[in-house]
Structure 1
């Protein structure tokens, strides 16, 4: 079926019209195409429902919104020449984003196109005579609910309609929560269990329900001084996380970084993910976004380098350093994985192509890698690739070492190309057609470790059951046995759980939602002092407001924008 998805997606991909509030798209009726069976038509109708996910999860869209707005990531104006973009990344980090931010606009449009495509599928699939349509219909309706979760979380609104040509009803607060909940509950019985992680399954819906119930207190009263986590909501979080864990279908990975390898589609820890395999034209750029422009991870691609994008803030790094002091945080295998042995053995400076892999995790200090001169990698006399200290040659600064520093900020010195520890969580693809822009690693939306951590949080919030919460957290920590796992914790509080979510889920586009739920989004961190609680929501793009101007009072801008 995967191949059918691809061919049908190619057929229909050019037939969509960008829309905002009215969610209107013109879609070819695939069933009318000569020679197609009902099954082929069904495949072609469902494929576009998922097809917006890779664009939503592009590094400058959802990732930017969820990470650079937090204490975890910061993206300065590198060297005064790169990543300036009219200050939008500085504003995102400082919570001064405006309604004209192009990345917000892109994300809004893409999510609502996902909603629109879901509605089209919901209306079209019942006309086809194939047994698979029952499952596909459930997936399309469930994906509409997932896209609605995104608009609720980011912008505080949900658009509801069943007819593509109708005007949506806008829901907020408790009404929006109840609508999404009812949709997910309605589709769960008709979903499959074994077609994931790139498609919606029962396990994925259980996880989304758990996530919805966990954040319901925030969604019901967005600007509360203190959120009220209802006991019955926490019971539901525990119920749905129990379902996932007891199903036996998913498994915590022994090797933490294998969860983010380019072949992670079959990793048993993944529950729901953006399918990015090569034959689906995957194009995630997570592997090259953060690292240096002088880091070249693949010998076969002398143009595949990093972008000197975001680094982690000193505040976030210190959460690791303080947790493990006096030991180095690398005692936790989630923090760092050494692949280049030149770090530990300076004599090992010639590496065979098949053995060359850059280090993973949080990268600090002097970086080593392939040495490139005039567009060609240098080789040793034995034909292996020369590996040595890296300098900022691509930036025309050959004396500036690629030596990542803890300090990074918006000052001239703090915005240089070497500032900030970097993140290489997702693996560069060695088979991709470019080695750079077309990453093959599935982008994680939901995985089993998060399920354990959600259950731990619900137990703490419901009854203060620290012992059970501690057991769940330590289960996740103890699972990483490919190397020495991190030491077990001896106590558990909400603050420690927040820290643990930061250690486990960094760079996975969850930080903003977590910070809001834990009451930390108004805190002060590197280059951010804005404590306005109205910034818990982003502005509705001005283009959407303008587009709805013919309906007075229909789409109201979020407060403070």
Structure 2
């Protein structure tokens, strides 16, 4: 009788890593899964492999790790009462994090669970008689490589494991790099071109390979004083970028913010993304995270608001100012700000016409007026006007986003710091925390152009070709940003910040460009050991029955 193996999803920490730990597997025969077709069984094994992505990309997990640790984002102790969380966000920004940080622990947990689920799928799918089996195995194996790639980037190691009953081999440096590379190369021929962006396609594998080769020098020698980029690695970045660009399958979006709209699943710029459509249990927290607690984006839902979370740092804001001085970047670069409605004070607006402005939000904020939990109406319309910090029990203090934000009392107030609304606030989100329709970009075409530009600069200082790639991206948008006249690595890093801010690549970029030991806002730490994070103490404790199996990263 044919057997179908269904993996327990309730894994914790490092449980999947060794056979000495109880990993529950339930083996069910066909009689106990009456009506389950081979297709359903195959789908049911692949779906869990992707299911951890929304959790990894939760605002307090991967976003926090990749952004708040950099010069792009800062999250102070708001008003002395909110987002304190035992100082973990202050520590991440200052590079003083410890192995007990819960956001690091959760991210590790979800990544390792993703690997575990991929291993189960890889071993189970060959037993199921479904024509999609070969493609599904390639996707599961590719996702195992992706989860390991993120682990390598964040924690400096990866896990090699093929059998659910085996013990994972811990790989670091060159070994980890080669393992991940070979896995992506092995599955690429069997991947499809038609199932993205929420599933791994050939284009997605090419994008991950380009990123892997671009960062290969960092992964080989994590603490190097000077990073040496091999010409052959840069050739591979160009090769896989060319495959994507020349495929004709992807297009740079004319409307920059459409890449992050709720209906972006079919946006041709997305190559590989977290499928966040509401019916697939997405969440809206990347939208709500930075907004004021008194910004209510949805006339239909008076409980859906922001949370006064992270802001951009003055340092990052000033890169925009200096690039376009004496003009305001909002009037020049379509990536900085999109104004969706203009109102005089104390006006009325129809619900369908109320759309939050997008990008970097500055100064006095206007929006829906809310009194005693309900929006003030003007007949069928809604009253809009200047916002005050009512939800913070400061009803006479206006919501005015300021450039200054830091860890001082004044710099930590509720309205300090310019805010970011890049992903559209889902119109279905009753609480502001749920139903995030927008797919979250992992690899998109603009990034591919910028990776190719960087590889050309690093290999042969081909500034002309790099400049052409950068200007292709700048020219693609409606009301395009003005073309640049020259290109070097410093300008390219600035351009990556302009194009990809708030997209969870900044930490990786700063390390590769040799800027992660720099100084910004409240951060002065220059220790290169902080280029990777500590392995969570819970993971080390969970593997304690194998002495020496998991060794903490230096400096922690």
TM-score by length of 1: 0.95
- 1:339-360 CA distance string (max 9 Å, x none): 1212xxx168211001100110
Q: 1:13 to 1:400 in 2, by over 3 A?
A: farther
Give the drift of 1:265. Answer: 0.5
Contact preservation (8 Å) 1:23, 1:113: no
Which residue in 2 is equivalent to 1:375? Answer: 373
Q: 1:444 to 1:319 in 2, by over 3 A?
A: same
Distance 1:308 1:177 in 2: 39
Distance 2:296 2:27 in 1: 45
SS of the aligned residue for 2:377 comes to coil
Which residue in 1 is equivalent to 2:356? Answer: 358
1:537 and 2:537 aligned? no
SS of the aligned residue for 1:207 comes to helix
Which residue in 2 is equivalent to 1:464? Answer: 461
Which residue in 1 is equivalent to 2:239? Answer: 239
Give the drift of 1:38. Answer: 0.9
Which residue in 1 is equivalent to 2:384? Answer: 387
Which residue in 1 is equivalent to 2:402? Answer: 405
1:18 and 2:15 aligned? no
Distance 1:46 1:28 in 2: 17
Contact preservation (8 Å) 1:16, 1:27: no
Give the drift of 1:435. Answer: 4.5
Which residue in 2 is equivalent to 1:332? Answer: 333
The equivalent position to 1:419 in structure 2, one of 416, 420, 433, is: 416
Ranges of 4+ aligned residues in structure 1 off by more than 6 Å: 11-14
1:182-331 aligned within 5 A = 182-330=182-330, 331=332
RMSD of aligned residue pairs (Cα, Å): 1.4
Distance 1:527 1:245 in 2: 40
Give the drift of 1:28. Answer: 4.4
Distance 2:6 2:16 in 1: 20
Q: 1:146 to 1:29 in 2, by over 3 A?
A: farther
Q: 1:41 to 1:22 in 2, by over 3 A?
A: closer
Which residue in 2 is equivalent to 1:4? Answer: none
Contact preservation (8 Å) 2:284, 2:426: no
- 1:190-246 CA distance string (max 9 Å, x none): 000010000000000000000000000000000001111000000000000000000
1:163-174 aligned within 5 A = 163-174=163-174
SS of the aligned residue for 1:182 comes to helix
Contact preservation (8 Å) 2:346, 2:385: no
Give the drift of 1:37. Answer: 1.1
Give the drift of 1:326. Answer: 0.5
Q: 1:439 to 1:544 in 2, by over 3 A?
A: same
Give the drift of 1:325. Answer: 0.3
- 1:462-491 CA distance string (max 9 Å, x none): 10000000000000000002xx11100000
Q: Which moved more, 1:17-26 or 1:326-335?
A: 17-26
- 1:256-293 CA distance string (max 9 Å, x none): 00000011101000000000111111114111000100
Distance 1:83 1:228 in 2: 39
Distance 1:528 1:368 in 2: 32
Give the drift of 1:434. Answer: 4.0
Contact preservation (8 Å) 2:8, 2:25: no
Distance 2:363 2:227 in 1: 40
1:39 and 2:39 aligned? yes
1:95-244 aligned within 5 A = 95-244=95-244
- 1:479-532 CA distance string (max 9 Å, x none): 002xx1110000000000000000000000000000000000000000000000
- 1:419-448 CA distance string (max 9 Å, x none): 000000000111245443221111110100
- 1:107-133 CA distance string (max 9 Å, x none): 001000000000000000000111100
Q: 1:56 to 1:418 in 2, by over 3 A?
A: same
SS of the aligned residue for 2:163 comes to coil
Distance 2:97 2:121 in 1: 34
List gaps (5 residues or longer) in structure 1: 1-10
